[in-house]
Structure 1
Amino acid sequence: MEKIYIVAGGPERLLPDLQEANNEEITWVGVDRGVIYLAERHLPMAEAIGDFDSITAMEREELQSRHRGLKIFPSDKDKTDTELAVDWAISRKPGLIRIYGATGGRLDHFFANIYLLMKQFESSIPMELEDSCNFIKLLPPGQHVIKEDDTYPYISFVPVASNVEGLTLEGFKYPLENRHIPFGSTLCISNELIHHTGTVSFAGGILMMIRSRDETK
């Protein structure tokens, strides 16, 4: 099934190796300066979306000559460029949507991009956000199996928008059993698996899982 990877225009230094992520199942979408990032890596774009206010006139002219399907939106609009790209991706009904280039730089855009992941609950399409040091996804109530991943050894859980009820962590260095986690709590920051897999279960709320590694590694 098709997977859609969106590359937004966040700081380039925070991008992971996009070439490594590429395969025949991937449909690439460039957003604003993310179009430049994809072009420089010779990755094919199905769509190029944005107001392109973060690139020079010369870069924009070159992009238009290379990519006839460039979708240019006005700067004054009701949705961010990244949300426009996510909505386009949802319309394709893929098996997965992953967003790169959505962290670092302006905090307002970063928080907006985190909350774009909420669209997975309306669309029933899994969504993820990844940069060079972090992997983020939102978990609905229920039980989730978390597999060991040496790339991201640290695992944090953060309530999103509301409290999380009945959180149980098994197979982790710091286990929990049926705990109420209030919105804004830092209790579940920086945990680690102690087995090859662990389980996360909770009865209510939405949990953001952040898998991380140290930037120096």
Structure 2
Amino acid sequence: MRKALLFVNGEPPKEFPNLEDYELIACTDGAFHYLKELNFPLEKLDFISGDFDSHSNDEEILQSKIHGFEIIETPDQNKTDFHKAIEIILEKGFDNIDVYGASGGEQDHFLGNLSVAFFLKDKVNLRFFDNYSSYYFIPKEFTISDVKDKMISLMPFPIAKNIETKGLKWPLYKEDLILGERIGTRNIAENQEVSIKYKEGDLLIFVGI
């Protein structure tokens, strides 16, 4: 399975994943600055993309000449930098993408990133990681392993019907979750393996670190 790694301009990660797990590594223009400050190995980057609306890209051009990564300008203001970066990665043949920096910072960015993930969920397997949890949309039948004692939250988007779970402290049995009425936050995995299935709608899972 070919995997890509993308950094976007939210809260910087406290630690980086194993870069050897990825065949392609990219960042948006806003994320480039915290990567540089955190001494990320810039030679590992394949490309930087963005509209460079908050600054010139002189520094990126200089670093690209030194480290060999590509600069891709994406001026379309009808899509976010995150959305455009995902489309570039898809065009390069990757449909499994881990994303860091999608939350924290300005919360409209976070909600916008979730909206993009929802829009593209049938085209790409997106998994988000921050300093507190991982989160992603899950299929109608889903099992996750190695989660004993971790926090598990289930968020309908905006509705998920006839949910059944196994392995959670507070299980659901043929129950509905509806945004604005009932959600499934702050549950606990009692087993190493948790399974979830549901009939209709969409479900976003958060798994604590």
TM over 0.5: yes
Contact 1:4 1:27 in 2 (8 A): yes
Q: Displacement of 1:186 after TM fit?
A: 4.3
Show structure 1 runs of 5+ residues with no match: none
CA RMSD of aligned residues (A): 2.3
Q: Displacement of 1:122 after TM fit?
A: 3.2
Amino acid at match of 2:199: A
Identity within the alignment, %? 21
1:175 and 2:176 correspond: no
Contact 1:140 1:205 in 2 (8 A): no
Runs of 4+ in 1 over 4 A off after TM superposition: 54-58
1:199 corresponds, among 192, 195, 202, to 195
Q: Distance in 1 between matches of 2:195 and 2:77?
A: 42
Q: Which has the higher strand share?
A: 2
In structure 2, the residue corresponding to 1:190 is in which secondary structure? strand
Q: Distance in 2 between matches of 1:72 and 1:158?
A: 34
* Map of 1:148 onto structure 2: 146
Show structure 2 runs of 5+ residues with no match: none
* Map of 2:71 onto structure 1: 70
* Map of 1:79 onto structure 2: 79
Contact 1:35 1:48 in 2 (8 A): yes
Q: Distance in 2 between matches of 1:78 and 1:175?
A: 41
Aligned length: 205
Q: Distance in 1 between matches of 2:184 and 2:151?
A: 11
Contact 1:32 1:54 in 2 (8 A): no
Query: Structure 1 residues 24, 136: CA separation in 2 closer, same or farther (over 3 Å shift)?
Result: closer
Query: Structure 1 residues 157, 69: CA separation in 2 closer, same or farther (over 3 Å shift)?
Result: same
Normalising to structure 2: TM-score of the pair?
0.86
What does 1:90-169 align with in structure 2 at a 5 Å threshold? 90-123=90-123, 125-141=124-140, 143-149=141-147, 153-161=150-158, 163-169=159-165
